[in-house]
Amino acid sequence: MGTRFWRLFYAYVINTVGDEFFLLALPLVLLNLGYPSSVVTFVFGMMTFATVLGGLTLGYLVDRFPVDAVISCSYYASAAVLLLSAAAIAEGLDTTLVILFAAAILGVFAAISSAAVDAGIPKVVKRPAQVTRGYSLVESARTTAAFVGPAMAGVVARLHNLAIVLVVNSVSFGISAAMIWRKPRRRQPAADRPPSSGRWLEVLSGVRLVFRQRALHWGIGLSFIGNITLLGAAQPMFLIRLVRDFRLSSYTASAMIIAAGLVGVLAVQVMVRLQIKGEPFAVMLGASAIIGVSGLIIGAVNNWAVSGAAYCVIATAAIAYTVYWRTFRQQIVSQGELGRVSSTCRSLAYIGLAAGAFIAGALQSAGLSVATLFVLGGGAYCLSTALVFGLGRATIRAHTSK
């Protein structure tokens, strides 16, 4: 895979563990402090909203500067924001406002660094044939971190101290930035660097690039549908179902989530190693249908073991979906434009992520249970996937036949 890839990968692993620790530690602390379930879901939605704005307005940076520099600077800046926020809490400032401020700033930098990783994989692997393998490794790391985070959060939640959450995440950012930082090199040759057209024109360029590729529209739509119907609030709602509905302890809930992550990672790695082939969009549709059915099971079956198994399936299908969605983009977008396209696609899909969390929180405030929301969301996702398949099949076939 190459030294540059492994430097990026291991830095990304450490950072993502800390980042997901922050994203999931806060909901666990709030649950332990007795906040309503709707508040937990709303907080998750607020954390993703800044990611949408950051991706749409600053995604062009990924194509203008070296991947290593973009990621390391983003990580260093995030570490500084977290330390300042921890100091503000120690000084007695309003904790809620400080947390929301930190989450907003982190969301912007997360959008930049995530787009840089997406666009950087084809540039750092040794051979083009390793691109899908690189994306699968990165996505596996992302998912593993998302489930390891609650394990760490289960311990910190007992301390009832949000400043510790900030400091731990800051340390992870600092270590990751130091790992990926390389001695500054000359900027890209002018022939290899896309011409500068001004900040906002660069932003609009990413939107235009996505608009021109009709095949991308269906991928964005499918991601948006999944996020707004189910995935936008799946993580906090599953934690709520385990802790509130099934009365499991934080440690037991963390263990179940870690198990789901490991199952998902191992399953996708086996799939890639066996070189299971398929048209990327067809794999995405199949994964979407599986996620929807699994969501239905989590909400309909009042058994923690069955719900945990269904969540393992969601984890596996979500990784497979993301790997093949990135591969699909990489196949039809040039390297010089991939950063802007990836950032724009992520931001458009994340609008659904934030909206899904806000809608779920509002419905919980109106009295709907988490189990009911899983049933409604899973059913809507299944129906929407079937609709996308029927309407978008001709466009995708036309693309793949070129």
310: nearest Cα among 263, 272, 377: 263
Query: Which one is predicted more confidently, 314 or 122?
Result: 314
Rg (CA), the chain: 20
Alpha helices in 247-334 (DSSP H): 250-273, 280-300, 304-332
pLDDT digits (tens, 9 = 90+) for 93-139: 877 777 778 877 887 787 777 777 777 777 777 776 677 777 777 76
Higher pLDDT, 320 or 214: 320
Does the pTM surpass 0.85? The reply is no
More confident residue, 81 or 324: 81
Token duo for residue 227: 């996020």
pLDDT grade, residue 189 (50/70/90)?
A: very low
How many helices (H) and strands (E) would you count in the chain? 15, 0
Axis crossing angle, helix 95-124 with helix 37-58, rounded to the nearest 10: 50
Q: Cα–Cα distances in Å, from 209 out to 113, 217, 336?
A: 20, 11, 11
Residues in the chain, how many? Answer: 402
Q: Which residue has the higher pLDDT, 380 or 232?
A: 380
Q: What is the pLDDT confidence band of residue 2, given thresholds at 50, 70 and 90? A: low
**Ordered DSSP codes for 312-353:** HHHHHHHHHHHHHHHHHHHHHS-HHHHHHHHHHHHHHHHHHH
Residue 297, pLDDT > 90, answer yes
* 12 closest CA partner among 105, 184, 142, 153: 142
Over the chain, what is the mean pLDDT?
A: 76
8 alpha carbon, distance to own chain's centre: 17
Q: How confident is the model at residue 191 (pLDDT cuts 50, 70, 90)?
A: very low
**Per-residue pLDDT at 197:** 45
| CA 332 to centroid of chain Cα atoms | 22
CA 25/CA 141 separation, integer angstroms: 18
The predicted structure's pLDDT at residue 373: 92
Cα–Cα distance list, 72 to 53, 173, 370 (Å) = 20, 9, 39
Per-residue pLDDT tens digits for 387-397: 888 776 666 66
pLDDT band at 194, cuts 50/70/90? very low
- Mean pLDDT to the nearest integer, 283-312: 91
* Fold (topology level) of 3-182+198-400: Growth Hormone; Chain: A; (1.20.1250)
pLDDT at 334: 64
Q: Which of 23-32, 293-302, 363-372 bottoms out in mean pLDDT, i.e. has the lowest?
A: 23-32
Q: 120-128 — which CB contacts under 8 Å span 24+ positions?
A: 120/8, 120/62, 120/67, 120/71, 121/5, 121/326, 121/330, 122/330, 122/335, 122/338, 123/67, 123/335, 124/2, 124/4, 124/5, 124/8, 124/67, 125/1, 125/2, 125/5, 126/1, 126/2, 126/5
Least confident of 6-15, 120-129, 216-225, 266-275: 266-275
Specify the range with the lowest mean pLDDT, choosing from 104-108, 205-209, 219-223: 205-209
